[in-house]
Structure 1
Amino acid sequence: MKKLEIRNKHLALRKSWTQEEWQMRHEQLHQQVLSYLKSLPKGTIIFSFQSIEGKREVDTQLIHETIAHSPYEFQLAFPRVEGEGKMSAYLVHEKTSWVRSAWGILEPDPITAKKIEPNEIQVVLVPLIGFDLQGHRVGFGKGFYDRFLSQCQPNCLKIGLSLEGPVQQIDDLHAFDIALDVIISSERLYCIH
C-alpha cells in the first residue's frame, strides 16, 4: 500500500472508534509500553512526543506521568521545532513551562528546559499513523522524525507507538525513511531489528 492510502485508511478508522474502544486501546497500549520500558537501564533518556489535539493520536500523557514517577529515574525529553523542518530536543522537569506551537502541539519552553543533542538520547518514542512489518512508518508526511532520527546514535532505540496493527508493506518508501526497531501496539509488541 502507498503512504497516502495508509494514512487515509487509518485516520478514518480512528474516527470510527467509539470513546470506549479508544479508551480500551489506550489502556492496553499503556500497559504494553510500561512493560517494555522496565527493561531499559536506569537513567535512560527517553525522547517522546505530545499528542496533536483533534488528530486522535496516541495519547502519551499517562505514559509520561508514569515515566516521570517511575523508580527507574528515566529522563524525559521532548521536541521543539526550531527553524525550517528541524526539531531540537529539550530535557524537561516538573517546573518546565510549555508553549503551543503553530500546529497546536505543546513544546517545552527553552527558558525552562535544557537543550540536548540528539546523540545524547538512548530511546525515541515515535508517533505514527501506520506501519509495516519491516518497521517503516507513515506519519503526517513532513519528515521531521526521519531528519531527527538521522542525527541520533546508530544504537538509539526507535520505538513506534500505535493503536492499530501493521499493513503488510509500505510501497512508496523514500531514501531518507528510517525504519523503527520496535513497534508497540495496543495488541502486541513487534521487534523489527
Structure 2
Amino acid sequence: MSAKAILRRAALARRQALPATEVARRSALLSEQLFRHFPVAEWRWLHVFLPLAKRNEPDTWLVIRRIWAEAPAVRLAGPVVQPDGASLKHYELTPDTPLHENRWGIPEPLATAAEISPAVLSAVLVPLLAVDEVGHRVGYGGGFYDRFLAQCGPNTQFIGLCILDEAPLASIADVQPTDVPLHACLTPSQVWHF
C-alpha cells in the first residue's frame, strides 16, 4: 500500500469518528479562518467544492451563504464530475442554481448553469485529508483536483480545507510530478501558508 493510501485510510477514519456537532463546529471555524485571513471580498471568482456530508467533509455551505449575503460581487463556481470519471467541469453557483447528487452522493450544479473556465478563478477551496509542509495534499486518490488545478491561471490561490485540526506532515513520501501543491491550508485553529 502506498504512503498516500495509508495516510488516506487513517485520516478518513479519524474524520469519520467526528460527531455531527463537531463537524458543524469545525466547519464554522474554517469559514471564519477563510474570511479573517484572506481577501475574499476582493476575489472575482471563488471555486467551492460542495460537501459530502456522510463523509464528514467541511460544510462549505457556510462559506457560500456568507458570500451571497456579504460579498455579492464575488461569483461562485462549483465542480461537476464528468462522464469520463476522470475530469471536472465547473459551473456558476447562485442561490437559484439547481443541484443534483452525483453517483457518490455529492451535490453538483446542473450543467444548465454557465460553465466557468478554470483560468478565470481567483481562488479554489480544495478538499483534502492531509497536507505536508510544502503544500502537497492527500485527497481521495482520483487526481480530479490535481488535473483541475493545473488548468487554473498563474495567480489563482489554492486553499485547502481540512476539518482535522492537525499540523502539516513533514512530507508525503510518494508525491507525483502531476501533484499540484497548495498555497495555503486552513484547519479549525490554524492557517498554514506554503
Match of 1:14 in 2: 15
Task: Confirm whether residue 155 of structure 1 aligns to residue 164 of structure 2.
Answer: no
Measure the CA separation in 2 of the matches of 1:145 and 1:108. 17
Seen in structure 2, the aligned counterparts of structure 1 residues 155 and 14 have a Cα distance that, compared at 3 Å, is same
Cα RMSD for the two superposed structures? 1.7
Shift of 1:161: 0.4
Q: Is the 8 A contact 1:43 1:72 kept in 2?
A: no
Match of 2:185 in 1: 183
Shift of 1:47: 0.4
| Secondary structure in structure 1 of the residue aligned to 2:77 | strand
Task: Confirm whether residue 42 of structure 1 aligns to residue 42 of structure 2.
Answer: yes
Task: Confirm whether residue 76 of structure 1 aligns to residue 86 of structure 2.
Answer: no
Shift of 1:43: 5.0
Residues 11-20 or 27-36, more deviating: 11-20
Task: Confirm whether residue 97 of structure 1 aligns to residue 101 of structure 2.
Answer: no
> Structure 1 vs Structure 2: percent identity of aligned residues?
32
Match of 1:24 in 2: 25
Segments of 5+ residues of structure 2 without an aligned counterpart are none
| Secondary structure in structure 1 of the residue aligned to 2:42 | coil
The TM-score, its normalising length taken from structure 1, stands at 0.91
Residues 11-70 of structure 1, C-alpha deviation per residue, up to 9 Å, x if partnerless? 111123344433332222121112134x24535200010111311111111111111111
Q: Is the 8 A contact 1:42 1:72 kept in 2?
A: no
Match of 2:140 in 1: 140
Segments of 5+ residues of structure 1 without an aligned counterpart are none
Residues 142-151 or 163-172, more deviating: 163-172
Match of 1:5 in 2: 6
The TM-score, its normalising length taken from structure 2, stands at 0.91
| Secondary structure in structure 2 of the residue aligned to 1:171 | coil
Measure the CA separation in 2 of the matches of 1:20 and 1:90. 30
| Secondary structure in structure 2 of the residue aligned to 1:88 | strand
